[in-house]
Amino acid sequence: MLYHMPTAITFGAGALSELGGLTRDRLRSVRPLLVTDKGIIRAGIAEKVRPQLPAIPAFDEVEQNPKHTTVDRGGEIARELEPDLVIGLGGGSVLDAAKAIALLATNPGRIEDYEGREKYKVAPLPVLAIPTTCGTGSEVTWVSVITHTGRQFKMSIKGPLMYPAVALVDPDLLMTLPPHLVASTGLDALTHAVEAFTVKPASVITDTLALESLRLIFRSLQEAYLDIRKNAKAREGLMLGSLLAGMAFGNSDVGAVHCLAESVGSLYDTPHGVANAVFLPYVMEFNLEAAEAKYARIASVAGIEAGSQREAARRLIARIKEISRDLAIPSFRELNIPESDLTLIAQKSFANNSNPSNPREATAADYLDILRRADQAEA
C-alpha cells in the first residue's frame, strides 16, 4: 500500500489572508503569476489577492472544461514572464489549467505533448492552489485534465511533480458561490468520495479519508445549497469534505461515473459536476452487486438506517437521487444529448483510463445500458 500526497495544506475560514506570507516565506517566490478566470475577477475574489501580492500579473482566460489552446496560450505567457510560482485561484478548471501552465513554463512544446504520466522532462514550476468551489479536489491531486477540442477528448496530464506545493483552502471563498455551482461542485465532491471508496485500488487510508468526507458532505450539502453565505458551518463542512475527497480519489481512483462524465463533458461541454450528478445513481445501481457492502457503510455515515445491507445500499441510492432533485440538478434528458450519440459516449467511457478501476467490470455495452436507463428514468 502506498499513499503519496506531498501538498502542504492550509485550511480554515479566513486562510486567504496567509497568501502573501506563504508566497514569500514558505515558497520564496518573488515573481508569481496568477491564473484565474473572468468569473473570479467579476466576483471580486481576485481583488482579495492583490493587496497581498501587488502588481501580480494575471492570466484570466481559463474557461469551463479548459481547452488545450487556452493552456498553450497561458504557457506562452508564462515563458515570456518567467514567473517562479503559479498561483491558481478558481474552480477545478482553473486549478487544472494552472498545473498545466506550470508544466509548460519549464518544458517546451504544447500541452498535448505531455498527455499521460510523467512526460515532463523538467520539474514544473511550483503551484499554489486556491480553490473557490467545493468540488474539484485538484488542489491535492497530481493530475490536470485538459480538453483537446480537436479530438473531443479529455487528456490527463499527470505525475508526482504535479502536486501543488501548497493548497490554501479557505471556506469563506465559497460565500459568493451561486447555488447552482454549490450543487454541481458539491455533487462532484460527493462523487469523488463515493468512487474513491468503492473502486478497486481503494486502500484503508483512502477509505478513511473518503468516509469522513462523505459524513461531512451528507451533513452540509443541502444546507450549503440553501444559504451558503450565512451558514459558516455548512461552508466549512463542504469545503473540508471536498478536500478530503480529493485526498482520497487522488490516491485510489475514480470509476464509471467519471468515465461517463468526462465523455459527455468533452463532447458537449457539460459542466463536470452536473454530468457526475446525473450519472451517479445509475452507475451505483449498476455497481450494486460488486459494491453493496461499501454502499451500506456509506449509508451508515449518511445516517440511513436499514435492516439489511442490500436495503441500506438501495436507500442510499434513493437518497442521492433525492439530493440531486433538491439541488435542481437537471435530468439526463434535460442535457439534450442526441440518442444517436449514446454509442459513442459508451465507447469513450469504456476507453477511459479509470474504467478498469470501477468496482464492477463495465463493457461498452454496459455503459450503453447505464445511459439508456438514465435516459428512460425520466420518461
Judged by beta carbon, residue 125 or residue 224, the one nearer Fe ion is 224
Whether residue 139 contacts residue 11, with contact meaning beta carbons closer than 8 Å, is answered with: no
**With contacts defined by CB under 5 A, how many residues of the chain interact with Fe ion?**
1
Q: How far is the CB of 272 from Fe ion (least distance, A)?
A: 6
Judged by beta carbon, residue 83 or residue 137, the one nearer Fe ion is 137
Tell me the C-alpha distance between 172 and 218, whole Å: 19
| Nearest CA-CA partner of 240 in 6, 51, 1, 11 | 11
Judged by beta carbon, residue 59 or residue 253, the one nearer Fe ion is 253
Judged by beta carbon, residue 20 or residue 330, the one nearer Fe ion is 330
Judged by beta carbon, residue 37 or residue 188, the one nearer Fe ion is 188
Residues 61-120 that bind Fe ion (CB under 5 A): none
Q: How far is the CB of 191 from Fe ion (least distance, A)?
A: 6
Q: How far is the CB of 44 from Fe ion (least distance, A)?
A: 26
Whether residue 191 contacts residue 277, with contact meaning beta carbons closer than 8 Å, is answered with: yes
Q: How far is the CB of 213 from Fe ion (least distance, A)?
A: 13
Q: Give 83's contacts (C-beta < 8 A, 6+ positions apart).
A: 29, 31, 32, 33, 57, 105, 125
Residues 186-225 that bind Fe ion (CB under 5 A): 188
Judged by beta carbon, residue 212 or residue 262, the one nearer Fe ion is 262
Handedness of CA 94, 67, 111, 252 (dihedral sign): positive
Q: Give CA 247 to chain center in angstroms.
A: 11
Helix, strand and coil in the chain, % to nearest 5: 60, 10, 30
Tell me the C-alpha distance between 95 and 36, whole Å: 8
Would you count residue 262 as binding Fe ion (CB under 5 A)?
Answer: no
Give the residue closest to Fe ion by C-beta. Answer: 188
Q: How far is the CB of 216 from Fe ion (least distance, A)?
A: 17
Whether residue 24 contacts residue 54, with contact meaning beta carbons closer than 8 Å, is answered with: no
Whether residue 242 contacts residue 136, with contact meaning beta carbons closer than 8 Å, is answered with: yes
Q: How far is the CB of 199 from Fe ion (least distance, A)?
A: 13
Judged by beta carbon, residue 139 or residue 188, the one nearer Fe ion is 188
Q: How far is the CB of 176 from Fe ion (least distance, A)?
A: 22
Q: What is each CA distance from 46 to 51, 130, 338, 365, in whole angstroms? A: 10, 11, 39, 46
Name the 3-class secondary structure at 2.
Answer: coil
Q: Give 361's contacts (C-beta < 8 A, 6+ positions apart).
A: none
| Per-residue mark of binding to Fe ion, 109-138 (x: CB under 5 A) | ------------------------------
Q: How far is the CB of 188 from Fe ion (least distance, A)?
A: 5
| Per-residue mark of binding to Fe ion, 162-191 (x: CB under 5 A) | --------------------------x---
Judged by beta carbon, residue 240 or residue 304, the one nearer Fe ion is 240
Give the binding site for Fe ion (CB under 5 A).
188
